[in-house]
A and B are shown apart, each in its own frame.
Chain A
């Protein structure tokens, strides 16, 4: 049933796509049918998703996907997340999100069309945007046909499973994925990826229509939405890694992580380029290119992470999806890449800016563009490093990214700070210097303070100073705007967030300290300014197979309990670990468990080696190795990691006579544990089978402990862990949230502008130049036209007005001219 829904959806979306294309080419009456087929496809896709969810929740394990990733014991939220736990499911999530977003996109476009009723049909973006969007969706759904989530177990494993067989339970979800973050990180991340298809569609539509002014305003809110959601999704992944995985970090420059970061950087660069375009009419091609690249890189990232091509190099590597999907992904990526780049080249000349004035180097425009270029450089560096394993057998040391990105981040901070101040540049030097003084001053003071307290590395000093500088510049303006109209403060709040994030990154990585500690039971050790005491292990409430390793941490009289976790996982056949973290506001104290060393029951000197039939004199007795005891042993079990026992028959001669015993070793999941055994006749000696060798000459190692000799006190059970201090790591999370908030306000601002502009399109705005200027300047325009525009203002109004507004200075006297500008602009 699910497969049928997918096929139906595919047919519908394909038809819809063709109809949209034809509608765009002139057959406008077809648009109604295009929409109908689109909504039909949306319904089919959503139904298919609902069906899969239904199968999961009703535990229909005869479906391979349900069996492979879910099980009866999963709580509701994790059961929900098994939807996207595997390849097929994650593609389905993608298709589902495309459907959902598609509805909003379609509504948005239809509304926009109604608003420009009087203008020629060529201004309508709906057909071509929807054409590209539905084409992308068609490719996605086709992948679902190639790799269906609705296969039955007997179809997937024809050799092993009979038709009609229904497994009792499923394999379950990988324990590494069984936590809260699994429910939110993938959907949000995927929503971010999916939404990048929209600015892409707008860009291609603009190129196809050869229309170069409207696309920007239409695409901008969607680009902002992508930036907001994708940025949030990426950081959630980082927080998950930090809090659950235990290697103490939130970013490993892992190929999968990198390939989600690159599209984000590109769309952020795109947004800035679009802002510049809005203000100056230039950089249209750059903006288009960036929106296109952002989505192409999403496709590339999908290819990188799904194709298995990075197999050895990434901890995220998924299973090879199979030849067909691999090839198809390449085709998918190639078609869209070649298509979009061809369009870009075709329209290269016609999108040239009408206004070729020389850009002043010290203008806000040039700062914006430089910033955009630097962002692209960062994306390029990461892309090269990440793709390297494809070209050669080898990986890139993570230090490469940090080394290369650090100077670029410094530049970003400096340029960001300067660019904001450059707006205020009315006259050249003096005013600029005045405005720069305060933020610069504060940053210098703070930096000197930090140098005194130990920050010595010059590069980091510069970086910190630059970040503080940009932080204060943005903070100043943000505070001013927040009191008036908070949504106008969007960009400044977002930049503020980034600078906080930068500071958090430096604090928590460069200045973190880490030590390895061995904590014997109840014995305190001092480290990092704290006293650590291991108090033993207790089972975790609610999950008896997991163990808390309780560590009491004390400082200056007060203390707290940290409980890192270790447990053996049947699923992964290995020991899994979770850290515990104390959030001390200005820093985190991070405990990552490494191992539990249990006391040795014997020491190395007690061990003797015996070959078959060999007898030896040791510690006053004779011991002979006769043969192996394979009665409880299974070769298959050992290979599969299941529990099995191997024994050795020993003949022991003591003063009391001869006795035969069996010394045994239990093997389970690769771990070997010796089972102590004593003689029936006396407890004087304990025998431990420590090693078994079946290659060449069969032999064993036996440890023989004479219990009558007083033993040296053994070290008790010891917890080995890594303790770390991570200063200011909370700034990382805070910074990201602030940045997301900034995006959100910008988005809200854009929507408000759009509504206002349309409601009063017949009215003449005196105060609302907002719609014509980019969002960043709104705070400066509202109510005070005091010449706070730089010379680049001209570009916004179409050329006929340039002559009347020679210097772009809107002061009160120009109001009559302004009216005209506003009115004509509305018609564009």
Chain B
């Protein structure tokens, strides 16, 4: 084979290997609180926030604290670095991305899934007519 082809293939192999490892490290899988406890990587947990417990933003520490129940009915305290997420109260479900530390879930991101208001429904047609 030509020298350039050999070099080329070698580089591609190296690239793929590095890529694969970087990729595996970046995967954020859907998980639940019990699994997340054993996982040192960042993972995402889907669930609902507990409406009867506190959901407050502390401006001193810049943390928003609330409680969440995951799909296995495990409840955990979630500490988000940042402000109360948009539409938090409205959220049907939330997805928290982060890691568990000292018994609480430290989230770097919380996504809120709102009832899909992007599409109008039949009742809305009538309402807007009034």
Contact = CB atoms under 8 A, between A and B. Distances in A.
Interface of A: 61, 67-68, 153, 156-157, 159-161, 165-171, 174, 312, 318-319, 358-359, 361, 366, 377, 381, 384-385, 388, 392-397, 399-400, 403-404, 516, 518, 571-577, 594-595, 597, 641, 669-671, 691, 693, 695, 718, 720, 722
A595 B113 CA distance: 20
Given A388-B27, A397-B42, A720-B59, A168 B90 contact: no
A160 B122 contact: yes
Given A595-B57, A720-B83, A359 B119 contact: no
A400 B26 contact: yes
Contact of B89 (A166, A359, A670, A718): A670
B2 A160 contact: no
A161 B124 CA distance: 10
Contacts of B28: 394-397
Contact of A392 (B29, B116, B119, B121): B29
A61 B127 CA distance: 13
B52 interface: yes
Contacts of A385: 23, 26
Interface residues of B, number: 45
25 contacts: A67-B120, A67-B125, A68-B120, A160-B121, A160-B123, A161-B126, A167-B125, A167-B128, A168-B130, A312-B95, A377-B15, A384-B19, A388-B27, A393-B29, A393-B30, A400-B25, A400-B26, A403-B22, A572-B117, A574-B86, A574-B114, A595-B83, A718-B59, A720-B62, A720-B83
Contacts of B60: 518
A312 B19 CA distance: 25
Contacts of A358: 2
Contacts of A576: 86
A278 to B, nearest CB: 21
A170 B23 CA distance: 45
Q: 4 smallest A-B Cβ distances: which pairs?
A: A160-B122, A670-B89, A594-B83, A157-B122
User: Most chain-A Cβ atoms within 10 A of its Cβ — which of B2, B62, B114?
Assistant: B62
B89 A366 contact: no
B116 A160 contact: no
A166 B2 CA distance: 73
Contacts of A518: 59-60, 62
Contacts of B130: 168
B44 interface: yes
A720 to B, nearest CB: 5
B128 A394 contact: no
B90 to A, nearest CB: 4
A516 B62 contact: yes
A171 B120 contact: yes
Contacts of A575: 86-87
Of A165, A166, A516, A574, which is in contact with the most chain B CB atoms at under 10 Å from its CB?
A: A574
A518 B62 CA distance: 9
A595 B89 CA distance: 14
Contacts of B126: 160-161, 165, 167
A576 B4 CA distance: 56
Given A161-B126, A165-B129, A595-B83, A404 B27 contact: no
B27 A396 contact: yes
B8 to A, nearest CB: 8
Task: Determine which residue in B15, B26, B28, B123 has the highest number of CB atoms from chain A within 10 A of its CB, and name it.
Answer: B26
Interface in B7-40: 15, 18-19, 22-23, 25-30
B90 A641 contact: yes
Nearest to A166: B129
Contacts, number: 133
Given A312-B95, A318-B118, A394 B57 contact: no
B4 A366 contact: yes
Interface in B88-119: 89-90, 95, 113-114, 116-119
Contact of A670 (B90, B119, B121): B90
Nearest to B116: A319
Given A381-B19, A384-B19, A396-B27, 13 more contacts: A67-B120, A160-B126, A168-B129, A312-B113, A361-B4, A393-B30, A397-B28, A403-B22, A572-B114, A575-B87, A594-B83, A669-B89, A695-B52
Nearest to A396: B26
Contacts of B25: 400
Given A312-B95, A577-B86, A160 B30 contact: no
Contacts of A174: 118
Nearest to A520: B59
Given A67-B120, A574-B114, A404 B22 contact: yes
Contact of B23 (A67, A359, A396, A516): A396
B90 A573 contact: yes
B29 A171 contact: no
Nearest to A693: B52
A370 to B, nearest CB: 9
Contact of A168 (B23, B122, B128): B128
Nearest to B43: A394
Contacts of A161: 122, 125-126
Contacts of B19: 381, 384, 404
Nearest to B123: A160
A476 to B, nearest CB: 29
B128 A671 contact: no
A726 B90 CA distance: 33
A420 B28 CA distance: 41
A407 B114 CA distance: 38
Contact of A157 (B15, B83, B121, B129): B121
Given A168-B128, A359-B4, A366-B4, A399 B120 contact: no
